[in-house]
């Protein structure tokens, strides 16, 4: 892998100063077992640990899905970091200074400079003249000067003033556009400011450097303009990978052992105002897996505090599902009467936050509460649908203990037996689209496809591996993975011993390169058996699902045969 903009020597220093066990231990519960350290793999669903971390080799490897690599690739795969971001994060933690090689770095450095200069400009405007209106507005929403300073809030004036200011500092139009602060003028040439007449909240990276802004329109004179405007993705900012307020929240959540997820900048400011710096916000997107993992690494108690209107309530359950999928159990704070957290807390004492914390419930009880509780669910059909919906939320949990806990909650609340709910959940799981992870170059490939392909590509037997015959195109979920498989089969038939990727499409090449750069070579035939077993199980579950839907549709003439086949499949699944 390329060293990015830092010298190999300094990257090696960072590696030497970092302990992979303590870094991974923040995100995965690790246990010492004899000489090795293991835990449940964060990259695939499993019930018994096959994810090993080696302190001697400073590597990790999963025998279940084949994920593996060093501490840098862990952060890249788990948190979606770029290599450079992973190096910077660990260097900052270990206090190792980084030497630049001076090539690659200069490009992103320019954008960081532009954002830092823009931030200075906007903060200055808040203090002067026209910015008075913004200060008055903030005061009317009971945001104190202390909080304004702490959050680095700024003011973007009505006219286009930032662009000429930055041009005067020597930046080119295209740099300003790419950095996300300016837009190309529609008439003729030149650029103008993206943010105008807005209160600006700086969005920072994990090291506290400004990388974008979120802006609240002042007044509602022009209703064609969106009330909130977020900066676009740029070479230094991607919405789905950053959490607003992360840096300050990181240390506060460690101290309090809790983190509060909110939707908006003002909700966030309200918690800070109340003395709870442990709040973070998504920046105008639904919670992403990458953000969920960062939240999970901050503290062991996670609270979601979204708006109390129906849209906010739905978003809260959805965010909870993303956290469950990542192995965390969040609690949801319920707000009365369609209020948002900012409205609700504004005129209440600081202790109101603690009341919300202690009243917060698990996602199942919260979802049921939205329907008015179980007693208000009337009619058999409706009851079935509600239980299905609750089981579907519980089934999102990848951590077995959390799944079991939530399943018990569904059973306690509804009176349905655990067995019934369990079979509902299994149904849910086979039908579930397995979580897709981002490969290099933006190709989406699911962990399932990735582990199957890794099993094939990293075989010590090359194209002679019997697995290549065993895996079929419809075992794979994405077209790109299926196409790679087809070409392996073809080359294998032609008698080649090593897979040649030269004939592949660019997209396919990238997927292969990504897999080969992070996976170990398969060594034991035990791995092959494991993969075949996983495939057999997958195929049986797929068949069962198909048969069950046949039964439900009532179209087939021999339901007894179908039931017998399902029972047979279930017997086999039990013995796997
Ligand atoms: Zn795994």
pLDDT at 67: 82
Distance 64 CA to ligand 1 centre (A): 5
Nearest to 140 by CA among 34, 225, 246, 219: 219
For residue 217, name the pLDDT band (cuts at 50, 70, 90). very high
pLDDT over threshold 90, residue 168: yes
- 304 Cα to the center of ligand 1, angstroms: 28
Four-point Cα dihedral 299, 300, 305, 310, nearest 10: 130
What is the distance in A from the centroid of ligand 1 to the CA of 544?
25
CA of 422 to the centre of ligand 1 (A): 23
- Residue 465: strand, helix, or coil: coil
Using the mean position of ligand 1's atoms as its centre, give its distance from the Cα of residue 328 in Å. 17
pLDDT of 345 > 70? The answer is yes
Rounded to the nearest angstrom, the distance between the alpha carbon of 341 and the centre of ligand 1 is 38
CATH 3.40.1360.10 fits 246-361, yes or no: yes
- Tell me the per-residue pLDDT of 451-509, one tens digit each, with 9 for 90 and over: 888 888 888 788 888 889 999 888 888 888 888 999 999 988 888 887 877 777 777 77
Ligand 1 centroid, distance to 138 Cα (angstroms): 48
- Average pLDDT of the chain is 86
**Mean pLDDT comparison of 92-106, 174-188, 215-229, 519-533, highest-scoring range:** 174-188
> 8-94: which CATH number, 1.10.260.40, 3.30.460.20, 3.40.470.10, 3.90.580.10?
3.90.580.10
Q: How far is the CA of 224 from the centre of ligand 1 (A)?
A: 48
Q: Which residue has the higher pLDDT, 556 or 308?
A: 308
- The Å distance, Cα 177 to ligand 1 centre, comes to 41
Instruction: Report the separation in Å between the CA atom of 51 and the middle of ligand 1, taken as the mean of its atom positions.
Output: 6
| Centroid of ligand 1 to alpha carbon of 76 (angstroms) | 15
Q: Is residue 408 within 8 Å of 397, Cβ to Cβ?
A: no
Task: Identify the band that residue 348 occupies on the pLDDT scale cut at 50, 70 and 90.
Answer: very high
Q: For the domain 105-237, what is the CATH code?
A: 3.90.980.10
Statement: residue 105 has pLDDT above 60: no
CA of 507 relative to ligand 1 center, distance in Å: 24
Q: What is the whole-number distance in angstroms between the Cα of residue 448 and the centre of ligand 1?
A: 10
First and final C-alpha spacing in the chain: 39
| Ligand 1 center–CA 73 separation, angstroms | 14
User: What confidence tier does 187 reach under pLDDT thresholds 50, 70, 90?
Assistant: confident
- 545 CA from centroid of ligand 1 (Å): 24
Backbone dihedral angles phi then psi of residue 285, each to the nearest 5 degrees: -135, 165
What tens digit of pLDDT does each residue of 115-160 get? 999 999 999 999 888 889 999 999 999 999 999 999 999 999 998 9
Determine the distance separating the centroid of ligand 1 and the alpha carbon of 354, expressed in angstroms.
38
How many C-beta atoms lie closer than 10 Å to residue 480's C-beta?
Answer: 22
Centroid of ligand 1 to alpha carbon of 309 (angstroms): 38
Whether pLDDT at 446 is above 60? yes
Among the listed residues 105, 155, 101, 104, the one whose alpha carbon sits nearest the alpha carbon of residue 128: 155
Ligand 1 centre to CA of 199 (Å) is: 45
Q: What is the CA(62)–ligand 1 centre distance, in A?
A: 5
Q: Of the ranges 32-36, 40-44, 228-232, 481-485, which one carries the lowest mean pLDDT score?
A: 32-36
Residues 314, 316, 320, 321, Cα dihedral to 10°: 20
Q: What pLDDT score was predicted for residue 439? A: 35
> What distance in angstroms lies between residue 447's CA and the mean position of ligand 1's atoms?
9
Sorted by sequence, the CB contacts under 8 Å of residue 306 that are 6+ apart come out as 261, 262, 263, 312, 313, 315, 316, 319, 332, 341
- The pLDDT value recorded for residue 320 is 97
Is the pLDDT reported for residue 432 higher than 50? no
- Integer Cα distance of 573 and 365 in angstroms: 32
CA of 307 to the centre of ligand 1 (A): 36
512 CA distance to ligand 1 middle (Å): 18
Confidence category of residue 441, pLDDT binned at 50, 70, 90: very low
Whether residue 313 is predicted with pLDDT greater than 90 in this model: the reply is yes
pLDDT bin (cut points 50, 70, 90) of residue 510 is confident
pLDDT at 520 over 90: no
Dihedral angle sign, alpha carbons of residues 557, 560, 562, 563: positive
Pairing of β 210-217 and β 228-230: antiparallel
- Give me the helices (H) in 206-302, please: 246-256, 265-273, 289-296
Distance 390 CA to ligand 1 centre (A): 27
What's the whole-number mean pLDDT along residues 179-207?
Answer: 92
Structure tokens at 283: 């920046």
Residue 434 — pLDDT band, cuts 50, 70, 90? very low
* Reported confidence tier of residue 428, pLDDT bands at 50, 70, 90: low
Q: Is the pLDDT of residue 362 over 90?
A: yes
Binned at pLDDT 50, 70 and 90, residue 346 comes out as very high
Q: Are 486 and 518 in contact (CB under 8 A)?
A: no
- State the Cα–Cα distance between residues 449 and 446, nearest whole angstrom: 5
Distance 66 CA to ligand 1 centre (A): 6
**How many whole angstroms from 459 Cα to the centroid of ligand 1?**
17
Supply 425's token pair.
């959940």
CA of 63 to the centre of ligand 1 (A): 6
> Residues whose CB is under 5 A from ligand 1 (ion)?
41, 43-44, 62, 64-65, 67
**Does residue 433 have a pLDDT over 70?**
no
What pLDDT shows up at residue 442? 41
Residue-level pLDDT at 438: 35
Distance 61 CA to ligand 1 centre (A): 8
pLDDT at 35: 66
Spatial contact of 398 and 327, defined as CB atoms under 8 Å apart: yes
538 CA to centre of ligand 1 in angstroms = 16
Task: State in Å: Cα 265 to ligand 1 middle.
Answer: 36
Q: Is the pLDDT of residue 2 over 50?
A: no
Whether residue 173 is predicted with pLDDT greater than 60 in this model: the reply is yes
């Amino acid at each position: 892998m390329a060293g990015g903009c830092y010298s190999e020597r300094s990257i090696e220093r960072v590696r030497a100063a970092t302990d992979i066990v303590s870094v991974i231990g923040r995100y995965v519960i690790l246990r010492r077992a004899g000489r090795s350290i293991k835990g449940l793999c964060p990259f695939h669903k499993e019930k018994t640990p096959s994810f090993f971390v080696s302190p001697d080799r400073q590597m990790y490897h999963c025998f279940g899905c084949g994920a593996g690599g060093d501490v840098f690739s862990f952060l890249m795969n788990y948190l979606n970091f770029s290599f450079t971001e992973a190096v910077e994060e660990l260097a900052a933690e270990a206090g190792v200074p980084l030497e630049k090689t001076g090539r690659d770095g200069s490009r992103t450095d320019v954008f960081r400079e532009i954002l830092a200069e823009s931030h200075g400009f906007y903060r200055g405007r808040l203090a002067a003249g026209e910015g008075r209106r913004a200060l008055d507005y903030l005061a009317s929403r009971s945001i104190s000067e202390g909080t304004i300073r702490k959050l680095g809030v700024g003011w973007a004036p009505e006219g286009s003033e930032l662009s000429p200011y930055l041009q005067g500092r020597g930046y080119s139009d295209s740099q300003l556009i790419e950095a996300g602060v300016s837009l190309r003028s529609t008439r003729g040439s030149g650029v103008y400011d993206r943010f105008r007449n807005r209160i600006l909240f700086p969005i920072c990276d994990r090291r506290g450097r400004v990388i974008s802004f979120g802006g609240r329109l002042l007044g509602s004179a022009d209703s064609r303009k969106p009330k909130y405007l977020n900066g676009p993705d740029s070479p230094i900012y991607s919405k789905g990978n950053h959490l607003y307020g992360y840096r300050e929240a990181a240390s506060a959540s460690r101290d309090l052992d809790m983190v509060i997820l909110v939707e908006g900048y003002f909700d966030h400011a309200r918690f800070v105002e109340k003395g709870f710096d442990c709040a973070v916000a998504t920046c105008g997107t639904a919670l992403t897996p990458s953000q969920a993992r960062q939240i999970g690494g901050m503290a062991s108690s996670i609270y979601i505090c979204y708006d109390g209107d129906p849209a906010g309530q739905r978003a809260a359950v959805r965010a909870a599902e993303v956290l469950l999928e990542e192995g965390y159990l969040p609690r949801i704070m319920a707000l009365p009467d369609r209020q948002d957290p900012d409205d609700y807390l504004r005129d209440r004492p600081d202790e109101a936050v603690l009341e919300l914390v202690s009243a917060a419930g698990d996602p199942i009880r919260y979802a049921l509460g939205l329907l008015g509780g179980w007693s208000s669910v009337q009619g058999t059909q409706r009851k079935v649908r509600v239980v299905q919906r609750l089981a579907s939320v519980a089934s999102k949990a990848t951590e077995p203990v959390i799944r079991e806990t939530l399943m018990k909650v569904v059973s306690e609340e509804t009176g349905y037996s655990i067995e019934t709910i369990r079979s509902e959940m299994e149904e849910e799981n086979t039908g579930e689209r397995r979580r897709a992870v981002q490969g290099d170059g933006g190709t989406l490939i699911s962990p399932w496809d990735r582990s199957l392909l890794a099993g094939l590509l990293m075989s010590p037997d090359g194209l002679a591996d019997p697995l290549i015959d065993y895996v079929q195109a419809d075992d794979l979920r994405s077209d790109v993975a299926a196409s790679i498989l087809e070409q392996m089969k073809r080359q294998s038939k032609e008698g080649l011993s090593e897979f040649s990727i030269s004939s592949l499409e660019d997209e396919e090449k990238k997927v292969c390169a990504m897999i080969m750069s992070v996976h170990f070579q398969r060594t034991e035939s035990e791995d092959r058996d494991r993969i075949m077993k996983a495939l057999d199980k997958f195929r049986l579950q797929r068949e069962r699902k198909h048969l069950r839907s046949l039964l439900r549709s009532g179209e087939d003439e021999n339901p007894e045969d179908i039931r017998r086949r399902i029972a047979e499949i279930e017997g086999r699944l039990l013995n796997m």
